[in-house]
Amino acid sequence: DFEKTIKVLIVGNGKVGKSSMIRRFCTGTFTNTYKRTIGVDFLEKVQYCRDLGEDVRMMLWDTAGQEEYDTITRTYYRGAGACVLAFSTTDRDSFRAVSTWKKKVEAECGEIAMVLVQTKVDLIDQAVVDKDEAEQLAENLGLKFYRTSVKDNLNVDLVFEDLVSLADQY
Ligand code: GDP
Ligand code: MG
Protein backbone atom coordinates (compact mmCIF):
# COMPACT_ATOMS: atom_id res chain seq x y z
CA ASP A 1 0.00 0.00 0.00
CA PHE A 2 3.01 2.30 -0.40
CA GLU A 3 2.51 3.22 -4.00
CA LYS A 4 4.76 5.53 -5.98
CA THR A 5 3.90 9.21 -5.77
CA ILE A 6 4.21 11.74 -8.56
CA LYS A 7 3.70 15.47 -8.37
CA VAL A 8 1.89 16.81 -11.42
CA LEU A 9 1.77 20.47 -12.45
CA ILE A 10 -1.04 21.99 -14.48
CA VAL A 11 0.23 25.23 -15.99
CA GLY A 12 -1.23 27.81 -18.34
CA ASN A 13 -2.83 31.25 -18.26
CA GLY A 14 -5.59 32.11 -15.81
CA LYS A 15 -9.12 30.82 -16.56
CA VAL A 16 -8.07 28.23 -19.16
CA GLY A 17 -9.67 25.57 -16.96
CA LYS A 18 -6.80 24.16 -14.88
CA SER A 19 -8.67 23.95 -11.57
CA SER A 20 -11.70 22.49 -13.35
CA MET A 21 -9.52 19.80 -14.94
CA ILE A 22 -7.98 18.84 -11.62
CA ARG A 23 -11.37 18.73 -9.93
CA ARG A 24 -12.89 16.66 -12.76
CA PHE A 25 -10.09 14.11 -12.73
CA CYS A 26 -9.90 13.79 -8.96
CA THR A 27 -13.54 14.15 -7.93
CA GLY A 28 -15.52 13.65 -11.14
CA THR A 29 -17.38 16.97 -10.96
CA PHE A 30 -17.74 20.13 -13.01
CA THR A 31 -19.09 23.54 -12.01
CA ASN A 32 -19.71 26.60 -14.10
CA THR A 33 -18.99 28.96 -11.25
CA TYR A 34 -15.55 30.47 -11.39
CA LYS A 35 -13.78 30.06 -8.07
CA ARG A 36 -10.35 31.55 -7.64
CA THR A 37 -8.09 28.97 -6.08
CA ILE A 38 -6.96 30.02 -2.62
CA GLY A 39 -3.31 29.23 -1.87
CA VAL A 40 -1.17 26.60 -3.52
CA ASP A 41 -3.11 23.43 -3.11
CA PHE A 42 -3.41 19.97 -4.53
CA LEU A 43 -5.86 17.14 -4.99
CA GLU A 44 -4.74 13.57 -5.39
CA LYS A 45 -5.91 10.45 -7.14
CA VAL A 46 -4.53 6.94 -7.32
CA GLN A 47 -4.11 6.00 -10.97
CA TYR A 48 -3.22 2.58 -12.35
CA CYS A 49 -0.16 2.76 -14.59
CA ARG A 50 -0.26 0.28 -17.49
CA ASP A 51 3.50 0.32 -18.03
CA LEU A 52 4.42 -0.14 -14.39
CA GLY A 53 1.61 -2.58 -13.80
CA GLU A 54 0.90 -0.84 -10.51
CA ASP A 55 -0.90 2.08 -8.90
CA VAL A 56 0.66 5.54 -8.77
CA ARG A 57 -0.48 8.30 -6.44
CA MET A 58 -0.83 11.44 -8.54
CA MET A 59 -0.71 14.73 -6.65
CA LEU A 60 -2.21 17.38 -8.90
CA TRP A 61 -0.98 20.81 -7.89
CA ASP A 62 -3.13 23.83 -8.51
CA THR A 63 -2.03 27.46 -8.63
CA ALA A 64 -3.57 30.17 -6.53
CA GLY A 65 -4.73 32.18 -9.50
CA GLN A 66 -1.20 33.58 -9.19
CA GLU A 67 -0.50 32.60 -12.77
CA GLU A 68 -2.08 35.90 -13.78
CA TYR A 69 0.52 37.85 -11.81
CA ASP A 70 3.60 35.79 -12.67
CA THR A 71 4.29 35.10 -9.02
CA ILE A 72 4.25 31.34 -8.96
CA THR A 73 6.74 30.24 -6.36
CA ARG A 74 9.42 27.60 -6.40
CA THR A 75 7.31 25.60 -3.96
CA TYR A 76 4.83 25.07 -6.72
CA TYR A 77 7.34 23.63 -9.18
CA ARG A 78 9.64 21.81 -6.79
CA GLY A 79 9.82 18.06 -7.21
CA ALA A 80 7.34 17.82 -10.08
CA GLY A 81 7.64 14.74 -12.27
CA ALA A 82 5.02 15.57 -14.87
CA CYS A 83 3.27 18.57 -16.33
CA VAL A 84 0.17 19.48 -18.31
CA LEU A 85 0.57 22.60 -20.49
CA ALA A 86 -2.94 23.96 -20.97
CA PHE A 87 -4.44 26.53 -23.32
CA SER A 88 -8.07 27.33 -24.03
CA THR A 89 -10.05 27.00 -27.26
CA THR A 90 -11.46 30.49 -26.65
CA ASP A 91 -8.33 32.35 -25.48
CA ARG A 92 -5.73 33.30 -28.05
CA ASP A 93 -3.31 34.71 -25.45
CA SER A 94 -3.30 31.40 -23.61
CA PHE A 95 -2.25 29.66 -26.83
CA ARG A 96 0.57 32.17 -27.42
CA ALA A 97 1.79 31.69 -23.84
CA VAL A 98 2.32 27.91 -24.06
CA SER A 99 6.04 28.05 -24.95
CA THR A 100 6.71 30.47 -22.11
CA TRP A 101 5.03 28.14 -19.62
CA LYS A 102 7.06 25.22 -20.95
CA LYS A 103 10.31 27.15 -20.47
CA LYS A 104 9.35 28.16 -16.92
CA VAL A 105 8.67 24.58 -15.95
CA GLU A 106 11.89 23.33 -17.56
CA ALA A 107 13.91 26.06 -15.85
CA GLU A 108 12.78 24.72 -12.45
CA CYS A 109 12.24 21.03 -13.13
CA GLY A 110 14.47 20.14 -16.09
CA GLU A 111 13.14 17.62 -18.58
CA ILE A 112 10.00 16.04 -17.17
CA ALA A 113 7.03 14.28 -18.75
CA MET A 114 4.83 16.85 -20.49
CA VAL A 115 1.74 16.96 -22.65
CA LEU A 116 -0.11 19.75 -24.45
CA VAL A 117 -3.82 20.13 -23.73
CA GLN A 118 -6.44 22.25 -25.46
CA THR A 119 -9.29 22.89 -23.03
CA LYS A 120 -12.99 23.76 -23.53
CA VAL A 121 -13.43 22.08 -26.93
CA ASP A 122 -17.19 22.10 -26.24
CA LEU A 123 -16.91 25.83 -27.06
CA ILE A 124 -15.65 25.10 -30.57
CA ASP A 125 -18.08 27.63 -32.11
CA GLN A 126 -16.13 30.33 -30.21
CA ALA A 127 -12.74 28.92 -31.21
CA VAL A 128 -9.86 31.33 -31.77
CA VAL A 129 -7.23 28.63 -32.33
CA ASP A 130 -7.15 26.50 -35.52
CA LYS A 131 -6.89 22.74 -35.38
CA ASP A 132 -3.81 22.89 -37.64
CA GLU A 133 -1.88 25.46 -35.66
CA ALA A 134 -2.52 23.62 -32.41
CA GLU A 135 -1.18 20.41 -33.95
CA GLN A 136 1.77 22.33 -35.38
CA LEU A 137 2.63 23.74 -31.96
CA ALA A 138 2.53 20.27 -30.42
CA GLU A 139 4.84 19.00 -33.15
CA ASN A 140 7.25 21.93 -32.73
CA LEU A 141 7.41 21.38 -28.97
CA GLY A 142 7.64 17.60 -29.37
CA LEU A 143 4.60 17.00 -27.20
CA LYS A 144 1.63 14.68 -27.39
CA PHE A 145 -1.55 16.72 -27.89
CA TYR A 146 -5.07 16.28 -26.48
CA ARG A 147 -8.35 18.11 -27.03
CA THR A 148 -10.40 18.10 -23.87
CA SER A 149 -13.63 19.31 -22.37
CA VAL A 150 -14.14 19.18 -18.64
CA LYS A 151 -17.75 20.16 -19.21
CA ASP A 152 -18.43 17.17 -21.50
CA ASN A 153 -15.88 15.01 -19.66
CA LEU A 154 -13.95 14.45 -22.89
CA ASN A 155 -10.39 13.04 -22.76
CA VAL A 156 -9.64 14.29 -19.26
CA ASP A 157 -8.88 10.85 -17.79
CA LEU A 158 -6.90 9.95 -20.90
CA VAL A 159 -4.51 12.87 -20.40
CA PHE A 160 -3.57 11.72 -16.91
CA GLU A 161 -3.48 8.01 -17.78
CA ASP A 162 -0.98 8.77 -20.55
CA LEU A 163 0.97 11.22 -18.41
CA VAL A 164 1.57 8.71 -15.64
CA SER A 165 2.96 6.23 -18.19
CA LEU A 166 5.08 8.91 -19.82
CA ALA A 167 6.49 10.00 -16.45
CA ASP A 168 7.64 6.44 -15.85
CA GLN A 169 9.99 6.82 -18.84
CA TYR A 170 11.88 9.74 -17.27
P1 GDP B 1 -8.17 28.20 -14.12
O2 GDP B 1 -8.06 29.65 -13.80
O3 GDP B 1 -7.23 27.82 -15.25
O4 GDP B 1 -8.00 27.31 -12.94
O5 GDP B 1 -9.63 27.95 -14.72
P6 GDP B 1 -10.95 27.37 -14.00
O7 GDP B 1 -10.86 25.89 -13.86
O8 GDP B 1 -11.22 28.15 -12.79
O9 GDP B 1 -12.05 27.66 -15.12
C10 GDP B 1 -12.32 28.95 -15.60
C11 GDP B 1 -13.73 29.00 -16.16
O12 GDP B 1 -13.82 28.14 -17.31
C13 GDP B 1 -14.79 28.52 -15.18
O14 GDP B 1 -15.93 29.33 -15.31
C15 GDP B 1 -15.09 27.10 -15.63
O16 GDP B 1 -16.39 26.70 -15.31
C17 GDP B 1 -14.90 27.23 -17.13
N18 GDP B 1 -14.51 25.94 -17.75
C19 GDP B 1 -13.52 25.11 -17.36
N20 GDP B 1 -13.46 24.03 -18.15
C21 GDP B 1 -14.43 24.18 -19.08
C22 GDP B 1 -14.87 23.38 -20.18
O23 GDP B 1 -14.38 22.31 -20.50
N24 GDP B 1 -15.91 23.90 -20.93
C25 GDP B 1 -16.50 25.09 -20.63
N26 GDP B 1 -17.49 25.48 -21.42
N27 GDP B 1 -16.11 25.84 -19.59
C28 GDP B 1 -15.10 25.41 -18.82
MG1 MG C 1 -7.51 27.87 -10.97
pLDDT tens digits, one per residue of 86-142: 999 999 999 999 999 999 999 999 999 999 999 999 999 999 999 999 999 999 999
- Residue identifier of the C-alpha nearest atom 6 of ligand 1: 17
For ligand 1, the distance from its centroid to the CA atom of residue 45, given in whole angstroms, is 20
For ligand 2, the distance from its centroid to the CA atom of residue 168, given in whole angstroms, is 27
pLDDT of amino acid 17? 96
Q: Which atom of ligand 1 is nearest to the CA of 63?
A: 4
For ligand 1, the distance from its centroid to the CA atom of residue 3, given in whole angstroms, is 31
Query: pTM (2 decimals)?
Result: 0.93
pLDDT tens digits, one per residue of 57-85: 999 988 766 676 666 777 789 999 999 99
DSSP track, the chain: ---EEEEEEEE-STTSSHHHHHHHHHH----SS--PPPSSEEEEEEEEETTTTEEEEEEEEE--SGGGGT---HHHHTTEEEEEEEEETT-HHHHHTHHHHHHHHHHHH-S-EEEEEEE-GGGGGG--S-HHHHHHHHHHHT-EEEE-BTTTTBSHHHHHHHHHHHHHT-
